[in-house]
Amino acid sequence: MFLPKGVYFEKDAENYELGRDLLKRYRDNGIPCFEIDNHNNIEEMRKKQNSEFRSIKQNIIIGVRKTHKFVENHKVSDYLVPYTSSGCIAMCLYCYLVCNFNKCSYLRIFVNREQMLDKIIKMANKADRDLVFEIGSNSDLVLENMITRKFGMDNREFC
Ligand code: SF4
């Protein structure tokens, strides 16, 4: 099980089952959890030096996605969809997330998944043809799944 160095969470995340589960898991494991106002603007992280990148990446942010704007794509998909996470805990040298988020490319997990999926389903149902929604363009969903899975479902380790 991956345990972060610290967890930064929006209070509202506790109104969602996934948010409560994650926070309980981390608190039970003695991980320090800090309440933040907004996952988009964590002053403590912003003020850190680029040289602290490795340590910054060892944190997890838990929040609620408020804006859910689909961006027209029309290349390999119809829409780029900001989905249930952004960023990543890994540090692949070729990763474009660093270009997008700079040192704040840490993993943010959004706990209002049902609302996000509901919007996709409604849009798909209204369309007169099949649509392709690209949901993993600014995160790594495999990694996210390893973190958000319920205990007992999968014992594989992630390092
Ligand atoms: S998003 Fe993918 S490429 Fe980027 S750091 Fe994570 S695992 Fe590596």
Write the secondary structure of the chain as one string of H (helix), E (strand) and C (coil): CCCCCEEEEEHHHHHCHHHHHHHHHHHHCCCCEEEECCCCCCHHHHCCCHHHHHHHCCEEEEECCCCCCCEECCCCCCEECCCCEEECCCCCCCCCHHHHHHHHCCEEEECCHHHHHHHHHHHHHHCCCCCCEECCCCECHHHHHHHHCCCCCCCCCCC
88 lines ligand 1 (CB under 6 A): yes
95 lines ligand 1 (CB under 6 A): yes
Nearest CA to ligand 1 atom 3: 95
146 lines ligand 1 (CB under 6 A): no
For position 143, what pLDDT does the model report? 87
62 lines ligand 1 (CB under 6 A): no
pTM, rounded to two decimals? 0.89
Contacts of 131 (CB under 8 A, 6+ apart): 78, 79, 123, 124
For position 13, what pLDDT does the model report? 98
Cα gap 45→59, rounded to integer Å:
10
97 lines ligand 1 (CB under 6 A): yes
What is the mean pLDDT, run by run of 10 residues, along the chain of 159 residues? 92 97 96 96 90 93 94 93 92 84 90 95 97 91 85 46
How many A from CA of 103 to the centre of ligand 1?
Answer: 14
Select from 56, 88, 104, 144 the residue to mutate for testing ligand 1; criterion: most ligand atoms less than 8 Å from CB: 88
For position 14, what pLDDT does the model report? 98
Nearest CA to ligand 1 atom 7: 90
Fold of 6-148: Rossmann fold (3.40.50)
Nearest CA to ligand 1 atom 2: 140
Cα gap 156→6, rounded to integer Å:
22
For position 121, what pLDDT does the model report? 97
For position 152, what pLDDT does the model report? 44
How many A from CA of 126 to the centre of ligand 1?
Answer: 34
For position 117, what pLDDT does the model report? 95
For position 62, what pLDDT does the model report? 98
